[in-house]
């Protein structure tokens, strides 16, 4: 994962929201949920492409939350991962891909180019 100090606030906010959405998606992989297969397949794709690292989700959330003055949406604990394949449970974020994405998309930063400027120094 990218050091959050190298990210602009826009990307910190976006990743924070995505982490909360991931928790909801994980909860919906339980078989009793309608559409559980769709949610599981979504996580399989994200893991395959190097976008998620569930083992670090809570730690990453807490790291990002330190950037907010008023944060009151903690992730107390992750839902059970037992309904997910091992390759999803053990997936890791592709750091090189994530860094390249931030450098190559300067217009998505606030201020524009903020992440690129911090990463490239």
Span 26-51, pLDDT tens digits: 999 999 999 999 999 999 999 999 99
CA 75 to chain centre: 13
Residue-wise pLDDT for 78-118, tens only, equals 999 999 999 999 999 999 999 999 999 999 998 999 999 99
How do the domains of the chain map onto residue ranges? 8-93
DSSP codes of every residue in 46-70: HHHTT---GGGHHHHHHHHHTT-SS
Distance in angstroms (rounded) separating the CA atoms of residues 42 and 65:
25
The backbone region for 46, taken as left when phi is positive above 0, alpha when psi lies in -120 to 50, beta otherwise, is alpha
DSSP 8: -
Model's pTM, two decimal places?
0.92
Using an 8 Å Cβ cutoff, are 54 and 88 in contact? yes
């Amino acid at each position: 994962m990218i050091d959050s100090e190298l990210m602009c606030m826009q990307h910190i906010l976006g990743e924070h929201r995505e982490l909360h959405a991931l928790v909801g998606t994980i909860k919906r992989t339980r078989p009793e949920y309608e559409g559980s297969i769709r949610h599981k397949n979504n996580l399989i794709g994200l893991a395959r492409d190097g976008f998620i690292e569930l083992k670090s989700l809570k730690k990453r959330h807490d790291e990002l939350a330190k950037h907010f003055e008023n944060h009151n949406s903690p992730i107390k604990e992750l839902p059970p991962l037992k309904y997910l394949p091992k390759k999803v449970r053990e997936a890791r974020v592709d750091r090189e891909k994530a860094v390249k994405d931030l450098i190559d998309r300067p217009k998505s930063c606030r201020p524009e180019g903020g992440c690129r400027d911090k990463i490239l120094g």
